[in-house]
Amino acid sequence: MNSTDMARLAAGAALDKKALDPVVVDLRGISSVADYFVMVTGTSDRHVQAVSQNIMDAFDSLGIKILGEEGMREGRWVLMDFGEVVVHVFLEDVRDYYDIERLWIDAPRLDLQGSEGKESGG
């Protein structure tokens, strides 16, 4: 599975649990941290935890192990590192406060509507 498929898997698993405002930032050629950042919003700490668990389960079902995870117990901002893909599941106020999308405003966004095209950032 390539990194684009992994990003789509993470976003899809988040949306399966009714996560809000998915954004997938394409960092290929821009950052060595990861190929993609996937960002979604949960409506409560329990929702953030459920969304995050569903993403981890989706990867685990394909034999893709998580390299690191932080924030699950608190449920305000869960960060999951799958190597080429880093997933952030935020509460809305936390996402607004840190505004990570703004840091990568010029990076392209992965189109989650199914086409391979990319939307330009901001």
pLDDT tens per residue across span 45-97:
999 999 999 999 999 999 999 999 999 999 999 999 999 999 999 999 999 99
Closest CA to 86 of 13, 22, 24: 24
pTM as predicted: 0.90
Q: Can you list the domains of the chain with their CATH numbers?
A: 3-116 (3.30.460.10)
67: which 2 tokens? 């390299």
**89: β partners:** 40, 78
